[in-house]
Amino acid sequence: MKLVILGGGGFRVPLVYDAVATHEVVMSDGSPFIEEVVLYDTSQHRLDGIQRVIQARAAQLDAPPSLRASTDLRDALAGADFVFSAIRVGGPEGRVQDERVALNLGLLGQETIGPGGLAYALRTIPVMMEVAEAIADVAPNAWTINFTNPAGIVTQAMRRVLGERVVGICDTPIGLVRRVSRLLGVSLEHDQSRVDYDYLGLNHLGFLRSVSVDGLDRLPEILADDARLEEIEEARLIGKDFVRALGALPNEYLYYYFHTDAAVGRIDATAQTRGQYLAEQQAQFYDNVAGSEDPLALWHQVLHEREATYMAEARDEERREEDMGGGYQEVALRMMGALATGRAERMILDVANLSDGRRVVPELPDDVVLEVGCVVDADGVHPLDVGPVSLVELGLMARLRAAEQAIAEAAITRDEDLAWKGFALHPLVDSPRLGRALLDGYIEVHDEIAALFRRSLSVT
């Protein structure tokens, strides 16, 4: 089978290659289920650097998948069985502008949360719709696994073309379930038949509402125990007393909703935003890897620095090793393996509310892409039932998705008023005046957004 990685020059792509090259999943005849990996990117410079890293890793393995790179989208996609999408439209520099425009208005400047995420979506959705059309044309039977952010609304937009064959992924929800399970003395990997969980939300806005072992919900005892909560990063970030009051463990990104002022203050107090840090780090890496005698060692060093500083504005200490995510490649691998072999896997994925002929959350529209527990097998992706939805959860999901939906429609229809509406309605903006200022600011700094609304391009 052929796997195509869109954004193949991205820094973390070697994680995906390593996962498929070292996995134990095989087809019924004993052959590896991924035999060819194709990297696609618009930047030959980045492709060359990542190829050097992957080739160094492949040299350490027995019979690794073949590797090819291309800057031609349709050539790369032709005949694909799986497409993994991790495209960053506008590159690291675009992220810097997404963050800075919001911060200049006193609002949260973060890549996927708040106005920065909406600007990212405005730039990204038109490109991803073209990608979806290309997939439908030259690889109509492929499953697309979307990690392109903001993953939920990008997946929802791509479903207009690809339907159920595009699914969004994120590693933070299953990482939370794994940590809670470990505190309960069970393993998701080895005790799957004993562990059950109820997770519901949108991408980067979700709640773990129960974790059951042998049929008994054990989450209440975790919430009641300060020592155990101290071992869970999400509880440390958001506050042990508050997660206890909620009666659920929020996704770590809800820190930005529950502690917005603190997050903005911490970001403003730093010498550079996360986007600026990564833009500089990545530029240096790609320059250095071209002449490195040990590209794999260099990549590992930079990866550790990157992971250790993740969400640094939310914590007072360096990120603990056991809290580091980086597991999105595992989620993608498990999903592809289940679809290819038929051996069922349970995981948390971004899928449509209306699935298998029923609504997962009756109060939300059919096309809303939720992040929810699913079973994946040879027949596809099947969302599981969830418990009753609280007003807190429903209100946050409905408000956020209303803003994102307006942005998605604006990106497709080029309707500037819809974009204004989307920015103004976001729960971290909540102001028509600031919504207008954000839109004008992003039009000024992003040529892609200026062109979308047929404005004069910025002069730099």
The predicted-structure confidence for 261-293, as pLDDT tens digits, reads as follows: 999 999 999 888 888 999 999 999 999 999 999
Q: So what's the pLDDT on residue 308?
A: 79
Q: Which residues fall within 8 angstroms of residue 399, CB to CB, at 6 or more apart?
A: 425, 426, 427
pLDDT greater than 60 at residue 4 = yes
pLDDT greater than 50 at residue 235 = yes
pLDDT greater than 60 at residue 56 = yes
Query: Which H helix or E strand runs over 373?
Result: strand 369-377
Q: Give tens-digit pLDDT for 14-50.
A: 999 999 999 888 787 878 899 999 999 999 999 999 9
Q: So what's the pLDDT on residue 357?
A: 86
In CATH terms, the superfamily for domain 2-168 is NAD(P)-binding Rossmann-like Domain (3.40.50.720)
Tell me which of 236-240, 261-265, 452-456 is least confident.
Answer: 452-456
Q: So what's the pLDDT on residue 27?
A: 81
- Share above pLDDT 70 across residues of the chain, in percent, rounded to a whole number: 95
Mean pLDDT, range 196-207, rounded to an integer: 97
SS (H, E, C) 273-318: CHHHHHHHHHHHHHHHHCCCCCHHHHHHHHHHHHHHCCCHHHCCCC
Residue 323 confidence class, pLDDT cut points 50, 70, 90? very low
Mean pLDDT, range 186-192, rounded to an integer: 86
Residue 178 confidence class, pLDDT cut points 50, 70, 90? very high
Domain boundaries, the chain: 2-168, 274-322
Distances (CA, A) of 213 to 12, 43, 248, 283: 34, 48, 16, 46
Residue 313 confidence class, pLDDT cut points 50, 70, 90? low
Q: Residue 377 burial by CB count (10 A; 0-12/13-18/19+): exposed, middle or buried? A: middle
pLDDT greater than 80 at residue 428 = yes
Tell me which of 2-11, 238-247, 284-293, 314-323 is least confident.
Answer: 314-323
Tell me which of 21-25, 320-324, 421-425 is least confident.
Answer: 320-324
Q: So what's the pLDDT on residue 351?
A: 98
Tell me which of 176-180, 310-314, 435-439 is least confident.
Answer: 310-314
| Angle, CA 389 vertex, CA 152 and CA 257 arms, to 5° | 55
Residue 52 confidence class, pLDDT cut points 50, 70, 90? very high
Q: Is 207 helix (H, G, I), strand (E, B) or coil?
A: strand
pLDDT greater than 70 at residue 328 = yes
Query: Which H helix or E strand runs over 228?
Result: helix 226-229
pLDDT greater than 90 at residue 344 = yes
Q: Is 459 helix (H, G, I), strand (E, B) or coil?
A: coil
pLDDT greater than 80 at residue 456 = no
Of 306 and 215, the one with more pLDDT: 215
In the DSSP assignment, the letter for residue 141 is T
Measured between alpha carbons, how far is 445 from 178 in angstroms, rounded to an integer? 41
Mean pLDDT for the chain overall: 93
Q: Give tens-digit pLDDT for 358-406.
A: 999 999 999 999 999 999 999 999 999 999 999 999 999 999 999 999 9
Q: So what's the pLDDT on residue 189?
A: 80
Helices and strands, number each (H, E), in the chain: 20, 15
Residue 315 confidence class, pLDDT cut points 50, 70, 90? low
Residue 326 confidence class, pLDDT cut points 50, 70, 90? very low
Instruction: Record the tokens describing residue 431, joined without a space.
Output: 């102001």
Q: Give tens-digit pLDDT for 103-113.
A: 999 999 998 99
